Structure 1
């Protein structure tokens, strides 16, 4: 565990509080409202999604490779009566058999994984045919001017935000992994720095 990793985990909830209140809380609730059955959440972080899983979720596995985050996730999980477990594994190397889950949840994760193509390939593999990836991710802007600023500040932001990439074309990556995007909305991460404000929210089906 690096010192910055421990500090980042300790500061995360407080640093995200304004954005959660302005945008993310409502978006998380809407995204997870219809999630049912066996569910895998990638990069559970400090547990911001836990309050929004309903009683139709019969199994919940939360992956979180960063130890400081995983500890906070486990502490928050104790406050919820969910059929959940936490695994310290990366999204690129999921220890599950193929066709294991009805839903995979990714919220502000695909910006940070080291290899998004591999993470999405693993997501595709562990989903059942017809299963859904539901996602809430900040992405590369469609505005060329803002996209240029994202590219300029990419390196600085990545170091400051513990590996977060502000300029990833995540929608393209999801489709390239073999998913069919069936629902997509664009939004803005208000109260966040401009380079991470472009937001997509939606669902993609594994054929």
Structure 2
């Protein structure tokens, strides 16, 4: 498996994730996984900020994180999680799981960064059982043309991907989820953080999408 190492970004993200959670991110994380049960695969687990929010009906979380420093942090965090969490190495486009193995998948601020968003979503579809859910919390392209869209195009064409481990601010992730064969059931659009200066990563979505019951893959 190719190495995915971003040691500077990983350490910055560890601090930034705490600040983001204090600014309301923790509430979004909690709401994201409310009602989940069974086996869950979390892709791009980072330093494990999601782990504390899984409800007791979740029997296991397989947390996939390719970046070594973040994976070590996630492993430490998993020891105090309220549910069983297994942290593993892996890539979004080649997930460690069999076809239909999981009841749900969780992606938080990761579909902006994966090199091939379509391939990652098809992998999620593969490892989910028919009727299984993807819960997503992502920053995305601004909904309407205008100054924010221009800011995002400029950011993506210059330093933003270099500073943030390949992150792209202008991806239409909701459209990509639909194109991968999922049916979006809930979709909330909002600015995050809700106050303070606006950055190219301010437009966010949170929601859930379902793999169709009759889907054989």
TM-score range relative to shorter protein: over 0.9
Q: Give SS of 1:144's match.
A: coil
Listed as ranges, the gaps of 5+ residues in structure 2 are: 213-217
Aligned pair count reads 206
Which residue number corresponds to residue 96 of structure 2?
Answer: 95
- Cα distance in 2, alignment partners of residues 160 and 77 from structure 1: 27
Which residue number corresponds to residue 51 of structure 1?
Answer: 52
Contact 1:19 1:192 in 2 (8 A): no
Q: Give SS of 1:196's match.
A: coil
Cα-to-partner distance string for 1:96-129 (whole Å, 9 max, x where unaligned):
1111111000010100111010000000011100
- Cα distance in 1, alignment partners of residues 136 and 56 from structure 2: 20
Which residue number corresponds to residue 209 of structure 2?
Answer: 204
**Do the aligned partners of residues 81 and 182 (structure 1) sit closer, same or farther apart at CA in structure 2, a change above 3 Å counting?**
closer
- Cα distance in 1, alignment partners of residues 110 and 170 from structure 2: 13
Matches within 5 A, 1:126-145: 126-145=127-146
Which residue number corresponds to residue 153 of structure 1?
Answer: 155
Shift of 1:193: 4.8
Cα-to-partner distance string for 1:151-181 (whole Å, 9 max, x where unaligned):
1111311101111111111000000000000
Aligned partner (choices 175, 182, 192) of residue 172 of structure 1: 175
Cα-to-partner distance string for 1:72-118 (whole Å, 9 max, x where unaligned):
11111122242221111001001211111110000101001110100
Q: Give SS of 2:200's match.
A: helix
**Do the aligned partners of residues 42 and 112 (structure 1) sit closer, same or farther apart at CA in structure 2, a change above 3 Å counting?**
same
Larger helix share, 1 or 2: 1
Deviates further, 18-27 or 90-99: 18-27
Contact 2:51 2:85 in 1 (8 A): no
Q: Give SS of 1:85's match.
A: strand
Shift of 1:18: 3.1
Aligned partner (choices 188, 199, 209) of residue 185 of structure 1: 188
Shift of 1:68: 1.1
Q: Which runs of 4+ in 1 moved over 4 A?
A: none
RMSD: 1.6
Q: Give SS of 1:102's match.
A: strand
- Cα distance in 2, alignment partners of residues 114 and 86 from structure 1: 21
- Cα distance in 1, alignment partners of residues 197 and 12 from structure 2: 15
